[in-house]
Amino acid sequence: MAFPGSNAMAVAFDEARAAGARGEVPIGAVIVDAAGSILGRAGNRTRERNDPTAHAEVLAIRAAGAVLGSERLIDCDLYVTLEPCPMCAAAIGFARVRRLYYAAPDPKGGGVDHGPRIYAHPTCHHRPEVYGGIGEAEAATLLRDFFRERR
Amino acid sequence: MAFPGSNAMAVAFDEARAAGARGEVPIGAVIVDAAGSILGRAGNRTRERNDPTAHAEVLAIRAAGAVLGSERLIDCDLYVTLEPCPMCAAAIGFARVRRLYYAAPDPKGGGVDHGPRIYAHPTCHHRPEVYGGIGEAEAATLLRDFFRERR
């Protein structure tokens, strides 16, 4: 992968694979600051934690907030292997994330460019810049293989 | 208040007032099981925890999931003093909450009956039954007084 932040997306894929190995849906997310340093990285842990909100993005946001001592992740970017769901899209907005990079689009569960399109409403206070389709093939393969094994 | 679950909503208001006393936006939430027992109760803690996802509903869902040992809160109902935002509305759907009771509608930030209307999309997997406007005057007063003091 050769694009700005390709290392961050590679780490997000590492987190996605680790989540899959734990029996979680294989999605990973990484938050980097303006200098490119990783402030938070996580994979899904909804099953392990009995917590339906423990999506990769939420866990990464929470970790970065703890590092910064702030609920606002100013000038930070989020990389995630799948288009965020509506819950995570709204959380990304609340966190004031600067740029959102996602790999595979998610027509069934996404909330950024599909479904509720969280950032498209006038009541949305903060919209990150959104860049989709980065590393899409890898993300799609990872998810397809995961669900194929379980069906 | 005289309606089914009025005790649960009274507890949600207690949590809202406690949140306001901590300097948080005064919103409270309670999860009860089918027998009416409280499994989770919380007020906002976004500032205290440096966590933009620490809304009352998310914290109550997380607490109830820990009690039940499940990420799905089957046959549970959620009471909250303000119409949930899109993040919380989606989380409530993921948690498979049976019924959602909210006090004041939130035209500016709500995601159930305003804005993205999370449950209105065909991609939404689970829709709770929604009952709004329960104890609305009390909730509206609580929020208005809170923001008046801070402006």
B46-81 pLDDT tens trace: 999 999 999 999 999 999 999 999 999 999 999 999
A24 is catalytic: no
Residue B148: what pLDDT?
86
Report chain A's terminal Cα–Cα distance, integer Å.
Answer: 31
Q: pTM here?
A: 0.94
Q: Who wins on pLDDT, B1 or A143? A: A143
Question: Would you call B64 an interface residue with chain A, using a CB distance cutoff of 8 Å?
Answer: no
- Give which of B25, B49, B53 to mutate to test A binding, by max A Cβ within 10 Å: B53
Q: Residue A41 carries which side chain, given as an amino acid letter?
A: R
Q: Which two tokens stand for residue A33?
A: 């600051």
Largest CA distance in chain A: 42
pLDDT digit string (tens) for B83-134? 999 999 999 999 999 999 999 999 999 999 999 999 999 989 899 999 998 8
Closest to B103 (Cα-Cα) out of B142, B64, B74, B45: B142
Distance (Å, whole) CA A111 – CA A26? 18
Which residues contact residue A151 at a Cβ distance below 8 angstroms, ignoring those fewer than 6 apart?
A: none
What is the per-residue pLDDT for A97?
98
Q: Which of residues 20-59 of B touch A (CB under 8 A)?
A: 46-47, 49-54, 58
Task: Please give the structure tokens belonging to residue B132.
Answer: 């709004």
Work out the minimum CA distance from B137 to partner chain A, whole angstroms.
23
| ipTM for the assembly | 0.94
- State how far residue B106 is from chain A, nearest Cα, in angstroms: 11
B95 touches chain A (CB under 8 A): yes
What local confidence, expressed as pLDDT, does residue A44 receive?
A: 98
Cβ atoms of B86 and B116 closer than 8 Å: yes
